[in-house]
Structures are given as C-alpha cells and as structure tokens.
Chains A and B, each alone.
Chain A
Amino acid sequence: MKAWLTLHWMAFLGTVAKLAVTPFATLLNVLVIGVALALPAGAYTLLVNLQQAVRNVSSDPEFSAFLALDVKKDEVADLDRRLRALPGVARVEFRSREAALAEFRQHPSMGDVIAALDKNPLPDAFIVRLTDTNAEDLDRLAEKVRGWANVEHVQVDSAWVRRVAAAVGLGRVAVLILAGLLSVALLAVTFNTIRLQILTQREEIAVSKLLGATNGTIRRPFYYFGALLGVLGGGAALGIVYGAFYLLNHSVAQFAALYASDFRLGALPPEDMASILGFAAALGLAGAWLSVSQHLREFEPR
C-alpha cells in the first residue's frame, strides 16, 4: 500500500517536473488544447446565457382568443364555459371590449386616436392560461379554439419563446458536434505529445523495465501527464471564455440598454465548469492511454 502510494506520488511529481522543465512546449500544448476547447465551451456558455434570458422573459403559457365583434352575451357565456372545460386550463379571464377600450384611453398616446373613432374597434377577448409549459398542449388547444364559432382570432403570445427554445436546441446539437470534432483534436495533441515523450525516454523506459518496473509503473506517469495536460487545457479554455465574455459584456450592456434590459453574459455555473475540466482530463487521459498502448508495445518481453 505504501509502495503503491509512493509510486503514484512519484509519478505525479515526475509529471509536474516534466511539465515544468519544458515550460514553453507545455504552454503551447496547453494553449492548443485551451483554444480547441474554448470554442465549444464558449458556445455552450452562450447557450446557457440565452436560455437564462428566455426563461426570464417568457411568461406563463397562455393564449388570447379574440371574439367576433357581433358576438352575443349568451354566446360569450357559452364560450367561457367551454374554455373552462378544456383540459389543462388553469384560468380563463374575460376582457370585455369596453374594458379594453377604457384601458386604451388611459394610454397617453392612444387617447386621441381612440377619440377619433366613432365606434369601439376592439373585440371582446378571453385570456386563457394553462397549467403547464408544454408547448404542444398550448398549440393544440389554441388550434382547437381557433376553429370555434364566434372566435375571430387566436394569438399564442409565447410563440417566439418556443422558436428561441428550438434554436437553443439546435445550438446544443451544434455545440455537441463541435465538441466532438475538437475532442478528436485534443486527443491527437495528447497522443502525439506523449508519443514524443516515449521516444525521448525510450532508454529510461527500457532500462526501467529491465530493472523490474511493472507496465503500470511505466504507464502511470504518462496517464498523469495526459490528464494534467487536459485539465490545464480545460482551465485555459475557461479562462479564454471568461476573458472573451468580459470583453463582450461591454457591448452587450449597450445593446441590452436599448431594450431597457440589464442583461449580461454570465459565467457558467460551477458544476458546468467542473464538467468541462473533467471532460478535458478524461480526454487527456484517453489520448495518453491510446498513445501508451501503441508505443509501449515494443518494450514488451519477447
């Protein structure tokens, strides 16, 4: 047990030392991995921000049904009953044309326009709120109500929210593809770096094996090296994303101000950062494993 811990500790120290004796090569490797990971990490962070923004503006799921202008009072009552009977409906609010007109009158810029009209152009309306945010249910109900008599027009207010959500879903797939492609690049970087290391250390490896080193002992430092390279690269990626967002936020603030919003690009939640670091470490480890399996074969006893 103690020997095992000693071996791990020495492998780790050796790895840190190895990274430290070639600071420039290490820096370049870390940057290559960092840049490669920064693209999907940055895109992902943007998506998270976008989703957050959408969630903030999207109200409860509701639609408005505008009635025909010549609708009768008992027909309104009938519609009210039928709307309440629909499945998944939480609340039905009637907004009479008189109330709508009164509201318009309050509005300073609208008052004159309304006054110029000889009769009320506004229809009666129902605002129907559903119990959950399921977009399909909302669409289905709105479609159904659209077909009813005396219903002139149905407007689903949160349609654009769903469009954004769909775009975010697409973006997610794009990020995954990007991450997949760039992971291959990362894998290649660690694979090759470790191949070069094995080449320069082939004598030490050969002698160590002759002196009784197990394959695990030989491989371990390379695993540490790959994982550490991955973590450092992942850290660099997060740093790049953070820096880019810091610079972007100035413009974002100006842009958001136009919409009277105080929206800013935010950092990823810590668990997402941890996942990115973990993912990078796993990739580095995988690259190391592939490389070591490929290149240590020649040292096996015949």
Chain B
Amino acid sequence: MIEFSAVTKRYPGGYEALKSVNLTIADGDLLFITGHSGAGKSTLLKLLPVIERATSGSVIVNGQNVSAMRPAAIPYLRRNIGQIFQDQKLLYDRSVFDNVMLPLSVTGVPFKDGAKRARAALDKVGLLTREKANPIALSGGEQQRLAIARAIVNRPSIIIADEPTSNLDADYAAEIIDLFVAFHQVGVTLVIATHDESAVSRAAARATVRSVQLRSGELVA
C-alpha cells in the first residue's frame, strides 16, 4: 500500500510543486495521475523511489515512510519499484540485452540467472529478437517497451511510469497501455502519470482503473 498524507513539496527556490496532497493507493491498483504540464505529476511520482523527498507530510510505501528514509536504504527500496522515466534513461553505449541486465548486475545477480530473467522480460515486451541491437536502432515504441522490460526485470510489486505514451503514435501507445493492463492483471500496483486522456480511456475499457487529477500541485479529484 502507498499512502501520501499531507504531502507538500517545495523545490529549492521556493516553488510549491505539491500542496498538501492526500492519496491512498491500494495494492494492485491501476492508478492514473492526470493533469496539465506543470501540475506536479512527475514530482508526485519521484517521491516514491525518493528521487525527491517531500518537504513535509509522509509518503508511506509498504509501511515505511520513504521521505524520511536514510540514504543507505534507498537502493533497496528502488529495487522493488519498477520505474519508467519520462526521458527513458536508456544507455546507448550498450545492447538492448545489457540495458535490461543493468538492474540485475548492479544488485549482484549472477550472470546466468540474470540473463534468463532479462530474456523473459524482453520476451514479455516482444523484444526478444532485438536483444543484440543498440537501443538507438529501435523505434520510439520499441524503446519505450525496452524501458518497460528494464523496469519489470526485478519483478517489482510497484511500477511507476511518467508519461509513458507521450511522443508515441496511437498504435504504439495502445501497445504500451495493453502491457500495463497485463501487469495489472497479475497483481502489480501501477501508478501512471499522463496528460493523454485516450491512454486512460483505453485502459478503462480493459480493466478497472482509478484516476486522480492534479491542478497546480493540488489533488482535485
């Protein structure tokens, strides 16, 4: 379970990106956070893996107040949260396969076990045949699927995705949403920030989704 209680985030410089946000996300929820650009969606997501810390209030993830977590514990939290970044953060100096291996190799999973899991993740997103390619050679939709494969390779119980369908053609966007619905169906908690209404409605047509809206840092619905 994830619980935001009276969360305020003030960036250095004084800008309040989140204002006293209260939000509870149950295990297995498929939650969309919508809102205009600058509303605070990305900020809200970044609080979960402690890329940013809340200025006040608490962010509870599986019983732990992560905004007060000591730095040494943060890596272990992050291993249980699959992250799909808005700018994807793929590494273009290595193959598709090595990109998916990265979360495993940094946690000391032996190569053979890791390779099996990496291929399973690539298979799930339909990229198994491209494992030797460089990410730069992939289409936009394929790159996003690679980012998803990397996010799920540690079999996290929570997946967060920041604008996963932006800059994608409708067909590619639909594939991505269908993948998320599939993860939802096996019990993963998903928190997806998007300003793409069609993405939300496609998911809603296939599963029970929750949707909340941010406006200028405040939760409105």
- Give chain A's interface residues, CB within 8 Å of chain B: 2-7, 10, 203-204, 206-215, 217, 300-302
Contacts and interface: CB of A to CB of B under 8 A. Distances in A.
Interface string B102-115: 11011111110000
A207 B105 CA distance: 12
A6 B114 CA distance: 11
Which 8 A-B residue pairings sit nearest by Cβ, starting from the closest? A3-B108, A213-B106, A212-B79, A212-B78, A7-B108, A211-B103, A6-B108, A214-B75
10 contacts: A10-B108, A203-B89, A210-B51, A211-B103, A212-B107, A213-B107, A300-B71, A301-B51, A301-B53, A302-B53
Contacts of A212: 75-79, 103, 106-107, 154
Given A2-B108, A3-B109, A301-B53, 14 more contacts: A6-B110, A6-B111, A7-B108, A10-B111, A203-B91, A207-B89, A208-B106, A211-B78, A211-B83, A212-B77, A212-B107, A213-B75, A214-B75, A215-B72
Interface centre among A4, A217, A300 (most CB of B within 10 A): A217
Nearest to A203: B91
B5 to A, nearest CB: 21
A302 B91 contact: no
Contacts of A208: 102, 106
A211 B106 contact: yes
Interface centre among B77, B79, B108 (most CB of A within 10 A): B108
Contacts of B154: 212
Contacts of A4: 108
A55 to B, nearest CB: 53
A165 B88 CA distance: 69
B115 to A, nearest CB: 13
A10 B74 contact: no
B136 to A, nearest CB: 14
Contacts of A302: 52-53
Contacts of B105: 10
Interface in B64-93: 71-72, 74-79, 83, 85, 89, 91, 93
B211 to A, nearest CB: 26
A208 B78 CA distance: 11
Interface centre among A3, A211, A217 (most CB of B within 10 A): A211
Contact of B107 (A3, A5, A206, A210): A3
Nearest to A207: B89
B82 to A, nearest CB: 10
Contacts of B174: none
B74 A301 contact: yes
B50 interface: yes
B217 interface: no
Contact of B106 (A2, A203, A217, A300): A217
Contacts of A10: 105, 108, 111
A2 B91 contact: no
B49 interface: yes
Contacts of A7: 108
Contacts of B150: 211
Given A6-B110, A203-B91, A208-B102, A214 B51 contact: no
Interface string B19-63: 000000000000000000000000000000111110000000000
Contacts of A6: 108-111
B100 to A, nearest CB: 11
A7 B107 CA distance: 7
Contacts of B50: 301
Contacts of A203: 89, 91
A205 to B, nearest CB: 10
A214 B73 CA distance: 9
Contacts of B77: 212
A207 B102 contact: yes
A5 B111 CA distance: 12
